[in-house]
């Protein structure tokens, strides 16, 4: 792979990586750190970049790259105009998100977990589940309209009445940086924050970097993050956990998914986690076929290329570090893999 300056990476990533399949997500710092070691690239260019570096081409589908924004640093997630009094926050390459408590708007670390308030029409609903800001945004957009915003027509008094004297997220975001694909991410593992207009990664940390420097490119694709849960649960409890805290248990529906998961397992996994890992695969005890939630499993990668059949099979599916699948007793306690859909601003 040839070294490329940041601007060249825009077209390269768009050309080489289609937006489908599992996303090899940059938030998994250990994963990208492994890639930079494996490919002997001390620094991988990811590209936190100022608008001065941005060319005129549409880069909305370039994964693994972001821009620094000089204007509109403060925004509401639903694009409501921001009142001047809500823009007064000092950022130092940090990301801050709005939270509300007892008639006071605060600016918190977006990776903190809190309750959050959604709206739909004129109805406001406090969700008493703790999520980070991006996860809260995803929940609101999936089940309501968006996180609540504060306008001339949405007075703080309404938030106080619904907020039940607790701290909760609202839709205010302060951020000088933006992922080029529009993704919502709380990943900000800065090692050095300097004057460079682009961002590179060394091992598991981010660095400001001059956009003109010729270094390695890092691209990613897809709309799903793989979440490794190093907690041993039964299949059913793992299934419930993934549905509660993420999008759901991991599904592997085709060969591209399988390749992405295998790469993830080989590059990301802590050496102390051996597996196997529960995935969202189970067997119909009546008909014997294997299913992902409510869809039949068409693609498979069973160990020894032999699909487990009734009556000798165990009814829950797991994946091993080498990528092969196996049937396991559902009451066995194993670590597991969840999937989480990407959140876009």
- If asked whether residues 168 and 105 sit together in one domain, one would say yes
221 burial type by CB count under 10 A (0-12 exposed, 13-18 middle, 19+ buried): buried
> Taking every pair of C-alpha atoms in the chain, what is the biggest distance, in angstroms?
68
Q: pLDDT by residue (tens digit) across 224-266?
A: 888 889 999 999 999 999 998 888 999 999 999 999 899 888 8
Give the pLDDT score at 63: 36
Q: pLDDT by residue (tens digit) across 24-52?
A: 444 554 454 444 333 333 444 443 333 33
Beta bridge partners of 72: none
Number of domains into which the chain is organized: 3
Q: Which domain holds residue 273?
A: 224-341
Q: pLDDT by residue (tens digit) across 279-309?
A: 999 999 888 889 998 789 999 999 988 888 8
- If asked whether residues 204 and 55 sit together in one domain, one would say yes
pLDDT band at residue 187 under the 50/70/90 scheme: confident
* Half-sphere exposure at residue 276, Cβ-oriented, CA atoms within 13 angstroms: 21
Q: Which of 308, 344, 317 is nearest to 253 (CA)?
A: 317
Show Cβ contacts of residue 219 under 8 Å, excluding neighbours closer than 6 positions: 9, 12, 13, 16, 17, 62, 63, 64
Is the pLDDT at 79 greater than 70, yes or no? yes
Give me the DSSP letters along 22-90.
B---TT-HHHHHHHHHHTT-S-EE--EEEGGG--SS--TT-TT-EEE-SS--EEETT-PPPPGGG----
Whole-number average pLDDT of the chain: 77
- If asked whether residues 237 and 335 sit together in one domain, one would say yes
* 38 falls within a domain: yes
Q: Which two tokens stand for residue 80?
A: 């409501």
* 1 falls within a domain: no
- If asked whether residues 207 and 324 sit together in one domain, one would say no
- If asked whether residues 209 and 267 sit together in one domain, one would say no
341, 247 contact by CB (below 8 A): yes
Considering the chain, what percentage of its residues have pLDDT values greater than 70?
71
- If asked whether residues 192 and 47 sit together in one domain, one would say yes
* 202 falls within a domain: yes
- If asked whether residues 105 and 209 sit together in one domain, one would say no
Segment 77-94 shows an average pLDDT of: 83
**Among the ranges given (120-129, 193-202, 240-249, 258-267), the one the predictor scored with the smallest mean pLDDT:** 193-202
For position 211, which CATH number holds? 3.10.100
- If asked whether residues 247 and 160 sit together in one domain, one would say no
């Amino acid at each position: 792979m040839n070294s490329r300056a940041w601007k060249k990476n825009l077209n390269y990533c768009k050309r080489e990586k289609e937006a489908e399949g599992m996303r090899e997500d940059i938030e998994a710092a250990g994963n990208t750190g492994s890639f930079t070691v494996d490919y002997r690239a001390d620094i991988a260019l990811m590209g936190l970049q100022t608008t001065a570096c941005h060319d005129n081409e549409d880069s909305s589908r370039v994964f693994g790259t972001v821009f620094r924004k000089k204007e509109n640093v403060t925004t509401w997630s639903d694009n409501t105009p921001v009142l001047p009094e809500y823009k007064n926050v000092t950022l130092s390459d940090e990301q801050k998100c709005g939270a509300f408590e007892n008639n006071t708007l605060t600016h918190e670390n977006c990776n903190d977990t809190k309750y959050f308030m959604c709206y739909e029409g004129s109805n406001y609903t406090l969700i008493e589940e703790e999520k980070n800001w991006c996860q809260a945004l995803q929940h609101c957009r999936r089940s309501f309209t968006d996180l609540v915003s504060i306008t001339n027509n949405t007075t703080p008094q309404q938030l106080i009445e619904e907020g039940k004297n607790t701290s909760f997220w609202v839709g205010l975001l302060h951020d000088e940086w933006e992922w080029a694909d529009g993704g919502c991410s709380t990943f900000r593992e800065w090692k050095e924050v300097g004057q460079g207009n682009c961002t590179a990664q060394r091992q598991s940390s981010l660095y400001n970097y001059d956009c003109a420097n010729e270094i390695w490119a890092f691209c990613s694709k897809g709309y799903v993050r793989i979440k490794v849960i190093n907690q041993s649960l039964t299949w059913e409890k793992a299934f419930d956990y993934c549905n509660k805290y993420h999008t759901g248990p991991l599904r592997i529906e085709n060969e591209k998914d399988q390749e992405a998961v295998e790469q993830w397992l080989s590059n990301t996994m802590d050496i102390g986690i051996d597996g196997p890992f529960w995935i969202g695969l189970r067997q119909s005890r009546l008909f014997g076929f294997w299913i992902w939630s409510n869809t039949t499993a068409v693609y498979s990668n069973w160990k020894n290329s032999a699909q487990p059949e009734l009556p000798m099979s165990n009814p829950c599916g797991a994946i091993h570090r080498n990528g092969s699948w196996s049937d396991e007793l559902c009451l066995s306690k194993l670590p597991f893999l969840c999937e989480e859909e990407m959140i876009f601003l």
